[in-house]
Amino acid sequence: MSKQSKAFSLAALRPMGALLRPHRWSIALSVVCALVSSLAQLLIPIYCGEAIDAMLGAGAVDFAAVSRVAAVILLLTLICALAQWVLTVLNNRVAFRVSQSLRDQAIRKLQRLPIKWLDAHPSGDLVSRVIADVDVVSDGLLMGFTQFFTGVVTILGTLFMMARLSLPVAAVVVVLTPLSLFTAGFIARRSARWFHAQSAVRGEETAFINEMLDGQRVVQAFGREAATQAELHDVNQKLADASLKATFFSSLVNPCTRLVNNLVYAAVAGTGAFLAIAGHMSVGQVSAFLSYASQYAKPFNEISGVVTEMQNALVCAGRVFELLAVEEEAEPFPDTAGELPTEGQVRLEHISFRYVPERPLIQDFSLDVAPGQRVAIVGPTGCGKTTLINLLMRFYDVDEGQIRVDGQEIRGMSRHDLRRRWGMVLQETWLRSGTVRENIAFGKPDAPEEEIVAAAKAAHIHSFIQRLPQGYDTVIAEDGEGISQGQKQLICIARVMLCHPPMLILDEATSSIDTRTELRVQSAFAELMQGRTSFIVAHRLSTIREADVILVMRDGHVVEQGRHEELLAAGGFYAALYESQFEKSA
């Protein structure tokens, strides 16, 4: 086993114990059922041997003894079947509950991880860990509980019963057993690294497919179908190679152990036959020994298959636990119950920030926003406009300096309390799979119908919703598939208008809306922004003329500041931006 695969396995074993601890009574009962089932199976060959001994000799069949033994065998078979049924039910319950718990923990973890960590990891790989890897863990647990433990009990019990019947024959079995163990272990160590490679490439492929599906229109628009297919073929080929090698090595275990076990069976048969001829064993005992040899070999074949599956499960569990071990956002401050008193004063004091350590973005930036002011932020792409919004919302934390809201440093309050103060509309819309009503009321699920309709009217989306087949109860697909980008953005605007937040952030909130509708929505926004501190990010400078102050950013610095008319009269960078847009529109 490679060092990396071994590390994954060991890392997965420790937290797995914590997951199984709540199910310890079910596991204990499962162990009892496995013991009962194995004991019943182990007793049957003894009684079969007695039945054979009771039928030896012409006309010497002891029908009473045979009938009695047959009844005992039938009872043992029923007990074994019942124990196996209970064992299967318990093991399924434990495996599925553990996988449910794993997924719940993974989703909760993803919601508490820093945005910067999520930005740095492909969503497809995370989906693969939460869905596919947890399924593999569940299958591994099922096989482990059902076959591995039962197999071990059967092996130990069979050895004990054989030792009671004849120590020499049992010694032959014990001597040959390490051959089977060595063969299985030798192959299993080499298959482990390929299971790890298979799991990693599967996550890579899931991420690629997810990315291509999200951008399918762009792929087709630029004629990249063939290139995308070629890229997928390469990833798919890597997955096929890793899967084939993992399957090949794991498939060697069963036939190899079968060969060894058949040698054990032949050795037991030969040794037993010689002992029977010498008068040290009866024919029934030889028959029982052969049954035990077969029972003894069968668990090795099952365990050899289980070991490879459990290796795969441990690798996948390691990927899930690796996700669960990621450091969460520190949240030392409890949420404040009830309404938050918010005046809307925002102060940025000498803040600096960079996404990548070697590339500074915002440096020594200060800003003082009075309550109720409307602050517009403009500038070329990459100057730090959206980054500033990310810092205000604490999606990212500043590297240096402080951001204060109503005099309180935002790192001294919980993120939930901070974000309750803001209403946010982004250029990138997000809608969940559900009804239009549920999407509008996402931030206020208990909102009455009249408030939802009023918010939709304010966002000028009410008439469109009424034309839908079921109105507000119309179910829209994931991310609003089937409705236009502008309509999706209006629904997101209605979502914010329903919450009436104390402060607003509008990041290109009307970028996908036609000019006529934009004017009407701007009017609704103007009413919503009355008395509320608002930050407006816009590329179209015509939408921010009424702002109380316009910040003109360039390379992470505010190069100009003032009202629209003042900045135009100054003839600086803002004026050049405005005139360039005017020329383009003209």
* Cβ–Cβ < 8 Å for 201, 133: no
CB atoms near residue 245 (< 10 Å): 17
Sorting pLDDT into bands at 50, 70 and 90, what band is 479?
low
**What CA–CA distance (Å, rounded) separates 220 from 230?**
15
DSSP 356: B
Q: CATH: 3.50.50.60, 3.40.640.10, 3.40.50.2300, 3.40.50.300. Which one for 346-421+501-585?
A: 3.40.50.300
- Per cent of the chain over pLDDT 90 is 2
Q: C-alpha angle 46/49/55, rounded to 5°?
A: 145
Q: What is the pLDDT of residues 431-444, one digit of tens each?
A: 888 888 988 888 88
Residue 10, pLDDT > 90, answer no
Please classify residue 114 by burial: count the beta carbons closer than 10 Å to its beta carbon, then call 0-12 exposed, 13-18 middle and 19+ buried: middle
* Cβ–Cβ < 8 Å for 283, 56: yes
Residue 341, pLDDT > 80, answer no
Residue 13, pLDDT > 70, answer no
Residue 416, pLDDT > 90, answer no
Average pLDDT (365-377) is 86
* Cβ–Cβ < 8 Å for 110, 126: yes
Find all residues with CB under 8 Å of 96, minimum gap 6, and list them. 138
Comparison of pLDDT for 213 and 467, the residue scoring more: 467
Comparison of pLDDT for 282 and 109, the residue scoring more: 109
* CATH 1.20.1560.10 is held by the domain 3-322: yes
In 3-state terms the chain splits into helix, strand, coil percentages (rounded to 5) of 65, 10, 20
The domain segmentation of the chain, as residue ranges, is: 3-322, 346-421+501-585
- Nearest in space to 12 (alpha carbons), one of 312, 328, 327: 312
**What CA–CA distance (Å, rounded) separates 80 from 67?**
20
Q: What is the pLDDT of residues 553-579, one digit of tens each?
A: 887 677 888 888 888 888 888 888 877
Q: What is the pLDDT of residues 452-463, one digit of tens each?
A: 999 888 888 888
- Determine the pLDDT at residue 223: 78
Average pLDDT (127-150) is 79
Quick check: helix, strand or coil at residue 545? coil
Chain centre distance of CA 140: 17
Find all residues with CB under 8 Å of 391, minimum gap 6, and list them. 351, 353, 362, 397, 398, 403
- Determine the pLDDT at residue 7: 47
- Determine the pLDDT at residue 5: 46
**What CA–CA distance (Å, rounded) separates 371 from 101?**
46
DSSP 542: G
Comparison of pLDDT for 240 and 290, the residue scoring more: 240
Q: What is the pLDDT of residues 250-302, one digit of tens each?
A: 777 667 777 777 777 777 777 777 777 777 777 777 777 777 777 776 676 66
DSSP 242-292: HHHHHHHHHHHHHHHHHHHHHHHHHHHHHHHHHHHHTTSS-HHHHHHHHHH
* Cβ–Cβ < 8 Å for 393, 505: yes
Quick check: helix, strand or coil at residue 366? strand
**What CA–CA distance (Å, rounded) separates 346 from 59?**
106
Entry field: residues in the chain: 586
Sorting pLDDT into bands at 50, 70 and 90, what band is 543?
low
- Determine the pLDDT at residue 158: 79
Arithmetic mean of pLDDT over the chain: 79
Q: What is the pLDDT of residues 196-229, one digit of tens each?
A: 788 778 878 887 887 787 777 777 777 778 888 8
Bridge partners, 504 (sequence order)? 423, 534
- Please report how many Cα atoms fall inside a 13 Å half-sphere around the Cα of residue 575, on the Cβ side: 8
Bridge partners, 536 (sequence order)? 376, 506
CB atoms near residue 40 (< 10 Å): 20
SS (H, E, C) 401-434: EEEEECCEEHHHCCHHHHHHCEEEECCCCCCCCE
- Please report how many Cα atoms fall inside a 13 Å half-sphere around the Cα of residue 50, on the Cβ side: 15
Of 99-103, 277-281, 299-303, 528-532, which gets the smallest average pLDDT?
A: 299-303
Sorting pLDDT into bands at 50, 70 and 90, what band is 78?
very high
Residue that the structure tokens 């309404």 belong to: 339
Q: How do beta strands 346-353 and 408-409 pair?
A: unpaired
539's enclosing H/E stretch is none
- Determine the pLDDT at residue 82: 93
Dihedral sign for Cα atoms in the order 16, 19, 22, 23? negative
